[in-house]
Amino acid sequence: DAKTTQPNSMESNEEEPVHLPCNHSTISGTDYIHWYRQLPSQGPEYVIHGLTSNVNNRMASLAIAEDRKSSTLILHRATLRDAAVYYCILNAGGTSYGKLTFGQGTILTVHP
């Protein structure tokens, strides 16, 4: 799997937007961009994924650069419950299965 680079940590205040960046300059044309998060003492949780176009769901938005070499996960209004480690992962998608390769992720701290 292609490698991703994320900041080690970020901080936010409650109810403010949070933009979590991810660089993936070696992404291939068939790689999907996944985001997962892991709350303290819990298993990872799927957040969102995309290929080329920006994506929105109830949890977050994913903004993908036009050249696909970077992406940004956007939490529109951070809550204390959003404090977690956020992982950006590239994975061959579509009809294929396979392992997820987790990096170190970004530790998000949300201040009340």
Nearer to other proteins, 80 or 100 (CB): 100
- When asked if residue 8 is in the footprint of other proteins (CB under 8 A), the reply is no
- When asked if residue 65 is in the footprint of other proteins (CB under 8 A), the reply is no
Residue 13 beta carbon to other proteins: minimum distance, rounded to whole angstroms: 27
How crowded is residue 74: how many other Cβ atoms within 10 Å of its Cβ?
15
Within 13 Å of residue 78, how many CA atoms lie on the same side as its CB?
A: 21
Nearer to other proteins, 39 or 111 (CB): 39
Q: Mask of contacts with other proteins, 83-112, x by CB under 8 A? A: ----x---xxxxxxxxxxxxxxx-------
Q: What is the 3-state secondary structure (H, E, C) of 21-83?
A: EEECCCCCCCEEEEEEEECCCCCCEEEEEECCCCEECCCCEEEECCCCCEEEEEECCCCHHHC
Residue 51 beta carbon to other proteins: minimum distance, rounded to whole angstroms: 10
- When asked if residue 2 is in the footprint of other proteins (CB under 8 A), the reply is no
- When asked if residue 7 is in the footprint of other proteins (CB under 8 A), the reply is no
d(CA 22, CA 102): 13
User: What is the contact surface with other proteins in residues (CB under 8 A)?
Assistant: 32, 34, 38, 42-46, 49, 87, 91-105
